[in-house]
């Protein structure tokens, strides 16, 4: 990091109300009490150097915390629809097992190689990845310096990590992103981005 670089902290929303371990995309489920606590703790840990701005998905499980945190600390806040989770269509609120049972061949293909595929009546993975990229680059353009907190979803974080680290989607799905998980990235114009840490642990260069 240099003074001319921007640091991005991606933070997943905390625990939500509703059933656990389901495919929750556009379903606008609010945070549980524990989720608020998880996000406060994660944001406090990641706030070095201090945040200078916040961007967030407009879905309630991200937006509510971002609005409150931004107001408390007087940060500028931008809501980006491109940072929303994938629309799982007919798979919304189903467990992976339930989705696999309903559409076994499609779900198996989607898990391994989702390029161009979409859940039934949902969003194609290609469209999802394109809008995530566009939203992320909009954040970088708006905040070329400082430390920006982006409050978003696990799928969005995996898209960005797969892009930055050159991972397949199958490999990216093996990155653990529990509620309120964070990763920090450094971007300096003319240089490849760096992964600084994941889930609060320092990334070591060799």
pLDDT per residue, tens digit, the chain (206 aa), is: 445 789 999 999 999 999 999 999 999 999 999 999 999 999 999 999 999 999 999 999 999 999 999 999 999 999 999 999 999 999 999 999 999 999 999 999 998 889 899 999 999 999 999 999 999 999 999 998 999 999 999 999 999 999 999 999 889 999 999 999 999 999 988 888 999 999 864 443 32
* pTM > 0.85: yes or no: yes
Residue 189 has a pLDDT of 82
Closest to 111 (Cα-Cα) out of 178, 171, 22? 171
Buried b (16+ CB within 10 A) or exposed e, 68-96: ebbeeeebebbbbebbbbbbbeebbbbee
Q: Locate the domains of the chain by residue range.
A: 6-202
How high is the pLDDT of residue 190? 83
- The confidence score (pLDDT) of residue 200 equals 65
The H or E element containing residue 198 is strand 194-198
Cα–Cα distance for residue pair 101/185, rounded to 1 Å: 38
Which of 169, 8, 152 shows the shortest CA–CA distance to 84?
Answer: 152
Q: How far apart are CA 206 and CA 193, in angstroms?
A: 16
Q: Residue 57 has what pLDDT?
A: 98
Q: What CATH class is the domain 6-202?
A: alpha beta
């Amino acid at each position: 990091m240099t003074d001319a670089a921007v640091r991005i902290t991606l933070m997943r929303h905390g625990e939500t109300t509703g059933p656990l371990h389901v495919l929750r995309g556009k379903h606008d489920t609010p945070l549980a009490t524990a989720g608020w606590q998880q996000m406060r703790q994660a944001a406090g840990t990641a706030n070095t150097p201090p945040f200078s701005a916040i961007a967030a998905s407009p879905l309630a499980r991200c937006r509510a915390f971002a609005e409150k945190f931004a107001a408390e600390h007087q940060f500028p806040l931008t809501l980006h629809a491109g940072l929303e989770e994938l629309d799982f269509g007919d798979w919304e609120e189903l467990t992976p097992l339930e989705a696999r049972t309903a559409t076994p061949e499609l779900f198996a293909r989607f898990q391994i190689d989702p390029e161009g595929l979409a859940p039934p009546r949902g969003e194609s993975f290609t469209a999802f990845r394109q809008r995530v990229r566009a939203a992320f680059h909009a954040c970088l353009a708006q905040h070329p310096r400082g430390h920006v907190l982006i409050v978003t979803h696990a799928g969005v974080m995996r898209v960005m990590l797969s892009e930055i680290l050159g991972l397949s989607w199958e490999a990216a799905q093996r990155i653990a992103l529990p509620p309120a998980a964070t990763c920090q990235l450094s971007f300096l114009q003319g240089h490849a981005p760096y992964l600084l840490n994941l889930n609060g642990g320092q990334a070591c260069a060799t």
